[in-house]
Amino acid sequence: MQTVNWTILENKVSIWVREAGEKIKKSFAAPTPLEVSSKSAYNDLVTNMDRSIEQYLVEKIRTNYPGQSIISEEGFGDKPDTVNGILWFVDPIDGTLNFVKQQRFFAISIAVYENGKGKAAFIYDVMADEFFHCLAGQGAYLNSEKLKPIKNCVLKDAMLDLSMSWLKPNKRIDENVLTDVIQTCSGTRSYGAASIELAYVAAGFLNAYFTMRLSPWDYAAGLILIHEVGGIATRVDGRPIDLLTKQTSLLVAGPTLHGEITNHIRVKINEGKNVNEPDSVS
């Protein structure tokens, strides 16, 4: 197996990600930007941009790192059945609805794992020009600023990020499981782009991120940032995440807060409330 020079990899990927960001920005500035008449034309345009950016990134990876596996959203990658070796995770545009409606608050997310261990993470909030990046063991950064260790916040002082879907009837989690959590914490936010929300937890802008359904390309990079600053990431009941599972629940926070929320959820599960992993739902 090819030995990876991680510093060179970081330099290369940083360039690719910024170049991809420029392509997206140019598409907004074009004479006919995202102002398309019908909803299907709109969706086509988004899909085309998603595919074109993924194709660009996957080609760069294949050329520079031949033989390494890629898990990606739009299908230009591979379908590896093992985390052995080097594994790339690519999400060309995370936060598609924000991309469509706002033309902001979306990100390019790339992660590189070696034998199941996170090694390099890149999350680029294109329009804010905020580049969250990390080589495992060498510190996590927002642009050139090193992120501090995650704060050990308790629930009543915490700002939580989640989708409102999980507070109303849905097929993954009983709508009342989180009621106490929402009412106890100091505030809730919802930005609609998982990679940015994970990066925000790593950067201390948020104290926790909760979701019942997320794909590996959405969270793989964020998890590396989170671990680098001392945060904890598991399924919402505290069980470990499997990178090869198509979708998973996810709870990310500092150790104290993470324990507080997972304990709360386990109590609710023991009381008989439904908390279903995506894969367990038909």
> Binding residue for a copy of itself (CB under 8 A) from 138, 190, 245, 263?
190
Residue 92 · residue 53 · CB < 8 Å: yes
Q: Does 29 bind a copy of itself (CB under 8 A)?
A: no
Q: Which stretch binds a copy of itself (CB under 8 A): 44-52, 165-173, 215-223, 260-268?
A: 165-173
CA distance to 10, 116, 131, 137, per residue, from 14 (Å): 6, 22, 9, 18
Element (H, E) at 14: helix 6-29
CA dist 74 and 38 (Å) reads 22
Tell me the closest approach of the beta carbon of residue 251 to a copy of itself, in angstroms: 17
Look up tokens 């505030």; give the residue.
Answer: 187
Task: Give the three-state DSSP class for 74.
Answer: coil
> Binding residue for a copy of itself (CB under 8 A) from 39, 144, 145, 270?
39
> Binding residue for a copy of itself (CB under 8 A) from 25, 26, 101, 239?
101
Q: Which is nearer to a copy of itself, 39 or 79 (CB)?
A: 39
Tell me the closest approach of the beta carbon of residue 170 to a copy of itself, in angstroms: 8
Q: Which is nearer to a copy of itself, 79 or 168 (CB)?
A: 168
CA dist 147 and 118 (Å) reads 17
Q: Does 152 bind a copy of itself (CB under 8 A)?
A: no
CA dist 209 and 163 (Å) reads 9
Q: Which is nearer to a copy of itself, 112 or 261 (CB)?
A: 261
Closest to 42 measured CA to CA, from 52, 29, 31, 32 = 32
Q: Which is nearer to a copy of itself, 114 or 174 (CB)?
A: 174
Q: Which residues of this protein are in contact with a copy of itself, per CB under 8 A? A: 39, 97, 101-102, 104, 128, 157, 159, 162-165, 167-169, 179, 182-183, 186-192, 204-207
